[in-house]
Structure 1
Amino acid sequence: MGTGRRIYKNTIYLGAAEIVSKLLQFVVMLYAARLLSKGDFGKFNFALSLSLIAIVFADLGINSFLIREISRDRRLAGKYFMNAFFVKIALAFITYFLIAAALNALNYPMDTRQIVYIIWIFAILSTFTELFYSIFRAFEMMQYDAFLKIFRMALLTAAGLYVLFSGYGIVAFSYTFVLVELVVVLAAFLIALKKFIAINPFFNFKFAKSMLKSALPFGLAFVFGSIYFYIGSVMLSKMRGNEEVAIYSAAYNLALALLFIPTVYTNAIYPVLSRYYKSSKEKLGILYEKSFKYLYIIGLPISVGSYFLAGRIMQFFYGNEYASSAIALQIISWYMFIKFLNFLLGTTLSSIDRQDKRMLGQGLTAGFNVLLNFMLIPKIGYVGAAWATFATEIFLFILYYLYVSKGLYFYNFGRILAKPLIATVAMLLVIKFAGFGLILTILVSALAYFAALYFLRAVDEDDKKIMRTIFQNERLQQDR
């Protein structure tokens, strides 16, 4: 199968899995917010955030490193897998002691610790699931990755909703995550064993040490990224309590559900950007500019619409209990817009061999985010956490933009701002004067926005050619 066809096929698999998984994840968290008490929902989100920060220490970039190395020589898959497996077991114990020390130092009550330890088990199992995903991706067989992601979320949705509607509470709901992940990791193991690797209990300390050292640059980027992504909920829990975590998380989860859009797009263009970096800097620059434009065009109306419809959105999804989340959503809506662009900038840095700059940017951003949270949360609580999230994303955008401008070339994006901004006026007129229900308002305002873009000719023939370059198989390099 040609390179282009593989890229196209794998993009479809991963894109479909990302969309379905994000949708089902949002459904589960939506009903958790509605059916658990606000305190319990906040407690669960705190446990999830803390565990997802800790879990990067149980990986330290090993999964990404394995994809790169095994894809270069698939005969070494078994050797890399077994050494990575044993290293991850050791790292899992280290993360347990880190979490236990953090909970003791911060003096959390026993009921909160119980939920954290349960979710930690889920997180540890998930890092082994991701290890198998690395094997599938290295062999460019992403259909197994996609199937298991959808299977996981379908099973979790069914089991989680049953537990929630049956009134079993937060402990049973947390155990649901563990049991589902156990089933998924066993399924991943069986697929890997049958299709890709032969299990040989071989461990070479010297080889494992070298592997961990080589994986560390990937790991540090993930550590920094996880800190600024999740630390707000952790700090909010300690400084203001779990109810404010619930209010903040209700808005934040809505934003996370929409991030599949830049994820799918940047996954599609990443191999093309990487190839153009070696073959044609001119084509690389054109694709970068056009991608910036597309994500700006898509991200802008989502953020503007979320800002002006925040109250109605929170009422529709969460009910009156989370009405106070509307102000957090208004702030986080602008975080989404900047995040769309940062997905592209970060991907571009990786494609032009500037992973060190990406890691540096994430490290500085993580420190900036922690500082802002320390300053804002004690004074204005969840609103401060939302402002810290938004300001942090702007800070990262500035760093990434400077790095890309220096490593690739300077792109003056001011020339693409006007037409989408004008189109949002048409969208806002619908939002303000149409008087429809929420869903119809969103659909009609989106139609008005894209109709205005069409009449303004914001998308031209060059844009269509670029999309064909990305997705048409024959335009991509073929295997010989």
Structure 2
Amino acid sequence: MCPKGSMSGPADLRGSAEPLHDYGGLAAGDRLRHQATWLLSGSGASVIFQALYFSCMGRMLGAQEYGAFVGAVALVSVLSQFSSLGMEMVLLRTIARDRAAFGATWTRALLVSTAGFVLVLAVAMLYGKLFLPLTLRQLLPYLVVSDALFGKLTQLASRAFQGAGLARWSAKLAALTNAARAGAAITLFVWAARAHRHVVVLLWVRLYLVAALLVAIFSLVLVSRLLGSPVPAAIRRSHLLEGLSFAFSNSSISVYNDIDKTLLASHGMLADAGIYTAAYRVLDVASTPVYSLFAAASPRLFRVGSASGAEGVTMAIRDLLRWVVAFGVAAALLLVITAPAVPLLFGHSFGRSVSALRFLCLLPLLRGLHYAWGTAITACTSQWLRTAAQAFAAGLNLLLNLLLIPHWGWRGAAFTSLVSDGALALCSFLILQVLLRRQHARGAPAAKAEAEASNTVAG
């Protein structure tokens, strides 16, 4: 293991059977802050790279072709959640609880993800042939290989490091993905400017695939050096069922986050899809600190949930929730004030993104609430309940989008996003209350729960 603070290179950690941590003897609260700092710093680097990446894309493609790209990406995003059958979250949870299980779990994750990619590719091509215009359909093979295969492999590696307590490597991989995309976008942008050429979206997706391939190769090599290699392991029905709950959960998330872009593009509203997605990308960046915080806390919340149930987890996230609310309100105000900067970032064809961003300014707050309560539900080993709430939100989102987008364009999509995320936050809160009442009915000792929570997330 590298000494704390050392950046000279990875050491071989494969011999350890205990949970790995690169923060020495820090107290529980300090460990959470340490991991959150690493993940947030990685996210901060990702934000910078994303800004470069999105800016170059918007200026190269314009709102129309950018809308075609994001419409195809959104479809692949929904389908690719099934390419790994949720094994990335199974990997995280398993390693967080038992470091010695890495080899077998890693093998299963790789096998399932590779097989799932083939299925996703077939489904995407069939959907494209039946429902999408040629401008979108021709992008699908490149995007499926990039996101459903190479992107998933990188995500598996990141989750493995997160579960093992190596937050800095998880953060670096997340940043590297966006750095590679930014590098590809800048290269293409400079070439187009010097050659006085217009960049077509098909050229961009090919470069996008190459960037994903390079990051995936690096990620797999890094996992092999730091955590170990795959070992022979059987894939049982129970493993697939466990992962399936996460896959449905992730696909539901992708539906209520992304399907509106595909529907806008499918209705020929490519410019609407472009300006709406530009605003959405800014919101994704604004939500990054919340995701980083709970990504850092997840391994410990899983252990608290296993030991103390819903009461322990609820106590553990109480202080985190206060931070989420304060951050969400501040982010909303800042987004309203800074919205006019969006066309400066993406180009003059994205002028309507200002209104879209202001319309959606409450999303970081709503996301933070349902992410906090949803993570608590998962930590209580009640993932199917969380999946049910997310499936409800996804169904509501799809129904409202089908009704509103043909008449209201991006405004219908924005209204639907706010309603869906708000409904998910409410459902997640109510489910957690039900779990608490069940635990109280069984007479679970509150003192033990509070002790476990304070030992895990302190300060």
314-323 or 268-277, which moves further after superposition? 268-277
Displacement of 1:270 in angstroms is 4.0
Q: Does 1:58 align with 2:83?
A: yes
Indicate which of 172, 175, 181 corresponds to 2:212.
Answer: 181
Read off the aligned partner of 1:301 and give its amino acid letter.
A
Indicate which of 103, 119, 122 corresponds to 2:128.
Answer: 103
Displacement of 1:165 in angstroms is 3.0
Q: Assess, with a 3 A threshold, how the Cα gap between structure 1 residues 190 and 290 changes in structure 2: closer, same or farther.
A: closer
Q: Assess, with a 3 A threshold, how the Cα gap between structure 1 residues 467 and 215 changes in structure 2: closer, same or farther.
A: closer
**1: distance between equivalents of 2:211 and 2:331?**
33
Displacement of 1:102 in angstroms is 0.6
Q: Assess, with a 3 A threshold, how the Cα gap between structure 1 residues 106 and 127 changes in structure 2: closer, same or farther.
A: same
Q: Assess, with a 3 A threshold, how the Cα gap between structure 1 residues 350 and 209 changes in structure 2: closer, same or farther.
A: closer
Q: Assess, with a 3 A threshold, how the Cα gap between structure 1 residues 248 and 375 changes in structure 2: closer, same or farther.
A: same
Q: Assess, with a 3 A threshold, how the Cα gap between structure 1 residues 208 and 188 changes in structure 2: closer, same or farther.
A: farther
Q: Does 1:191 align with 2:222?
A: yes
Displacement of 1:128 in angstroms is 1.4
CA offsets per residue over residues 106-155 of structure 1, 9 Å max, x none? 0421x422222211111121111222223323332233222222233223
Q: Does 1:116 align with 2:147?
A: no
RMSD: 2.7
Tell me the equivalent position of 1:41.
66
Contact 2:39 2:293 in 1 (8 A): no
Secondary structure, counterpart of 2:82 in structure 1:
helix
**2: distance between equivalents of 1:313 and 1:33?**
14
Contact 2:151 2:212 in 1 (8 A): yes
Q: Assess, with a 3 A threshold, how the Cα gap between structure 1 residues 302 and 36 changes in structure 2: closer, same or farther.
A: same
**1: distance between equivalents of 2:414 and 2:403?**
13
Tell me the equivalent position of 1:375.
403
Read off the aligned partner of 1:307 and give its amino acid letter.
V
Displacement of 1:214 in angstroms is 2.5
Q: Does 1:67 align with 2:118?
A: no
Q: TM-score, normalised by structure 2?
A: 0.81
Aligned residue-pair number: 411
**1: distance between equivalents of 2:297 and 2:257?**
24
Tell me the equivalent position of 1:292.
321
**2: distance between equivalents of 1:7 and 1:387?**
35
Q: Assess, with a 3 A threshold, how the Cα gap between structure 1 residues 328 and 197 changes in structure 2: closer, same or farther.
A: same
Indicate which of 242, 257, 266 corresponds to 1:214.
Answer: 242
Tell me the equivalent position of 2:392.
364
Secondary structure, counterpart of 1:37 in structure 2:
helix
Read off the aligned partner of 2:204 and give its amino acid letter.
F
**2: distance between equivalents of 1:287 and 1:203?**
35
Q: Assess, with a 3 A threshold, how the Cα gap between structure 1 residues 303 and 467 changes in structure 2: closer, same or farther.
A: farther
Displacement of 1:308 in angstroms is 5.2
Indicate which of 333, 338, 344 corresponds to 1:304.
Answer: 333
Secondary structure, counterpart of 2:133 in structure 1:
coil
**2: distance between equivalents of 1:147 and 1:308?**
31
Where in structure 2 are there 5+ consecutive unaligned residues?
1-23, 193-198, 438-452
Displacement of 1:73 in angstroms is 4.1
Tell me the equivalent position of 1:460.
none
Indicate which of 132, 157, 165 corresponds to 2:182.
Answer: 157
**2: distance between equivalents of 1:126 and 1:323?**
31
Flag the structure with larger Rg: 1
CA offsets per residue over residues 177-205 of structure 1, 9 Å max, x none? 211221111112222222322355x464x
Q: Assess, with a 3 A threshold, how the Cα gap between structure 1 residues 89 and 281 changes in structure 2: closer, same or farther.
A: closer
390-399 or 62-71, which moves further after superposition? 62-71
CA offsets per residue over residues 28-59 of structure 1, 9 Å max, x none? 11221122132211111112111111111101
**1: distance between equivalents of 2:302 and 2:104?**
28
Q: Assess, with a 3 A threshold, how the Cα gap between structure 1 residues 319 and 155 changes in structure 2: closer, same or farther.
A: closer
Tell me the equivalent position of 1:82.
107
232-241 or 350-359, which moves further after superposition? 350-359
